[in-house]
Structure 1
Amino acid sequence: MIKGRNYILMVCCILFFFGCSKKAGVIAEPIPEEKPVHPLISGVNWADARDNFVDGWVIPSGLEASDNYASAAIKSESIYNGVIANLAGVNAIRLPVNPPSVSDSWWAAYQATIDQALAKKLKVILCCWESSSSKNGMIDNMDAFWQMWTTILNKYGQQNEVYIEVFNEPYGYTLSQLSAIYEQFLSKFPALPKNRILLSGTGYAEDVTGIGADARFKDCLLALHNYAFWNTRSQSEWEANWRVRYGAYSSRTVITEFGAGMSTGKNYTGAVGSDNEIAYIIGSTNVFRNSNLSSVYWPGIRDGDSYSLLSRSGSGGDMKLSVVNPSGVTRLRFGWGY
């Protein structure tokens, strides 16, 4: 009997031991690291070397006015290959348009730039710029403006990955005037899904709260800009400043322009110190990540621009892109959730 009891006790101890060990093993398994949420749009601007405020056609750096569809497609593919290779996680490109670019012969070639982006699984934001000679924060010619968007939407209106940013930096309009233009846009193009329409905030697209609060636009996205050269602030002040600019509308806001000097050698992953641009980039990308804000850097590619994140070399189908400032790329991708 004693030996039997000892046997039973031994079996129970073994079962208890292994049961505890198994349970302990489960508890000891590493908890998977929480994956950050990536925003709807994580992109860069591809801009004209003259800036996108031009009289005539907008021609992003690397393209030429003599290009036809085939040559523009080859060059665009080279650019997008470089963007994707150097900016892991990028999913969007913002391209300029204006009435001359769409109404003239350039449109036949320029469509290749859009088509190649879509072929690379990139979202495309098409944004209207005013001309250089006018440059007053207002649409140059309303009839030409409406015809431009009609032509574009006849071609790309059914393409789910093409987003329409109605007008860039509309600082010439009051809130009520701008709202009236946006209402007219929605009326003219009712078939275009609202969640593919970007409405710039007032001023230099610097505040989206007025447009965001308007019930007529509740299903539209909002385009917001903010730059370090506009003011000098600490990192925490830049973070607070962004939050004021988008208010209660973070889920609908897309930062379609932000940027700072990249060719200056500044370290955007180091200490902030007293440098306003470093405070701005770190503060901005902190806010983008924490609020899951979509963001599009200005510019990703633009020849001769000290803010450009990537530099271009070569020509035609052999164009190559290289990173100007690795710390800038790190912070950009951090803002995207990586």
Structure 2
Amino acid sequence: MPHTLKRLLAGALAAVTMIPVAAVTGAAPAAAATNQFRGMNWAVLGDNFSTGPLVLHGLSQSDSNATVRAKANALYDDMATIGVNTVRLPINTHTVGTTWWNAYRGAIDAATARGFKVILAYWEDGAASGGRITNLAAWNTMWSNVTYTYGANTNVYFEPMNEPHGYTSAEWRTVAANWMSYHYSAVPARTLIGGTGYSQDLRDVCNDSRFNGTLLSFHHYAFFYSPMTYDAFRTHVQTRLGTCASRAVVTEYGAPMSTGLNYADANSTDNFVRHIRAVTQVMRANQMGGVYWPALGGKPTGTSGFDYYSMFALSGSGTSLDLTVRNASGRDRIRYGWGL
């Protein structure tokens, strides 16, 4: 689809589906619905756990800032046509502050320039790090660079760490609280603190008064748990949100989009369908935002060359990139969860 037409369609859809943005301010407990976040994760093909620079799917490390911006705008045009207004992007210590960072920032700046919200989340150095920050000094230096650059940009949000599963609950909450004290330009209202484990349980973080003014980052996948009924999944999600659904964003949830599953089937016995329907029902009921994993990128499934959870198939070349929805029923259910 020509990009001029895509922009017109995106603008028309945005005008029809505009949702008021709730304010989340102050040091008191945040108590606003988060469905202003209608998002997708844009990931590295091969996943974001890396000991090198993070080059998102569709980008090349030889790209200039202008090229990254042009590619990002082409992809954001297509994302916007389904209602996306938020993108979650990975950062690490091998990206921020490097030559590649100068180019990578094009993906951030292209998003904020069009009014998208951007969640910048730290991924640790590969799976071998065991869910812990590999180098605390480098991590703080990275975040100082990021918050200095984007602290005043009200469209940029900060997630200190993705899936801090290498820490006990008490350890993680101390790490996160120290991060907030150190990086004072990252205002709490634009900070997302991940739940414990694989960001899969918000209760301890929710009940810790040090995070009263923040948003919370929550992950839920079917593969985390044994198969469940739709009702069991829905109860499980609601339980792990604790009493903080009003300030939680489901920053990762996903299921196969390339295998022909019907996410519109309320009577499905497929575990993935039950899961996605349950997560999105909880989101809608609580007016929660969600950031699907992934739009593109992620871990290739088998020999397919792509992650079968990815919402979009990528085509095109150079800066003329296009996205095609892999599963219309999956797209529609994600939109349902956003409140659309």
Fold match (TM-score > 0.5)? yes
Letter in 1 for 2:235: A
Runs of 5+ consecutive residues of structure 1 not aligned to the other structure: 1-34
Letter in structure 2 aligned against 1:44: M
1:281 to 276, 289, 294: 276
Alpha-carbon distance change, 335 to 158 in structure 1, aligned in 2, over 3 angstroms: same
Cα contact 1:38–1:337 (8 A) shared by 2: no
Answering whether residue 123 of structure 2 is matched by residue 129 of structure 1, we say yes
* 2-structure distance, mates of 1:147, 1:230: 33
2:142 is matched by which residue type in structure 1? M
- For the residues of structure 2 that align with 1:159 and 1:151, how far apart are their CA atoms? 14
Q: How far off its partner does 1:193 sit?
A: 1.6
For 1:321 and 1:273, locate their aligned partners in 2 and report how far apart those are by CA, in whole Å: 28
CA separation in 2, counterparts of 1:63 and 1:202? Answer: 32
Q: Which has the larger radius of gyration?
A: 1
Question: Given that residues 264 and 333 in structure 2 are in contact (C-alpha distance below 8 angstroms), is that contact kept between their aligned partners in structure 1?
Answer: yes
Structure 2 residue aligned with 1:138: 132
Q: How many residues align?
A: 302
Contact 2:34-2:248 at 8 Å conserved across structures: no
**Distance between the aligned counterparts of 1:214 and 1:163, measured in 2?**
20
* 1:65 matched residue in structure 2: 61
Q: Secondary structure at the match of 2:128?
A: coil
1:324 corresponding residue in structure 2: 326
Q: Deviations over 1:102-149 (max 9, x none)?
A: 032111001100000011211000000011253300011001000000
Within 1, Cα distance between the matches of 2:247 and 2:271? 28
Alignment counterpart, residue 71 of structure 2, candidates 69, 75, 82: 75
Q: Tell me the equivalent position of 1:106.
A: 100
SS at structure 2 position matched to 1:319: strand
User: What corresponds to 1:154 in structure 2?
Assistant: 148
Q: Which residue does 1:178 correspond to in 2?
A: 172
Higher helix fraction: Structure 1 or Structure 2? 1
TM-score by length of 1: 0.87
Normalized against structure 2, the TM-score is what?
Answer: 0.86
Maintained 8 Å contact 2:34/2:246? no
Aligned twin of 1:29: none
* 1:243 counterpart = 2:238: yes
Q: Identify the residue that residue 186 of structure 2 maps to in structure 1.
A: 192
For 1:26-64, what per-residue CA distance to the aligned partner results, in whole angstroms no more than 9, with x for missing partners?
xxxxxxxxx998812110100000100111111110001
Q: Does 1:45 align with 2:71?
A: no
In structure 1, C-alpha distance between the alignment counterparts of 2:53 and 2:201, rounded to whole Å = 29
Tell me whether 1:265 sits opposite 2:260 in the alignment. Answer: yes
Question: 1:53 is matched by which residue type in structure 2?
Answer: F
Q: 2:90 aligns with which of 92, 96, 119?
A: 96
Q: In structure 1, which of residues 182, 197, 202 is the aligned counterpart of residue 196 of structure 2?
A: 202
> After TM superposition, which residue ranges in structure 1, 4 or more long, deviate above 4 angstroms?
35-38
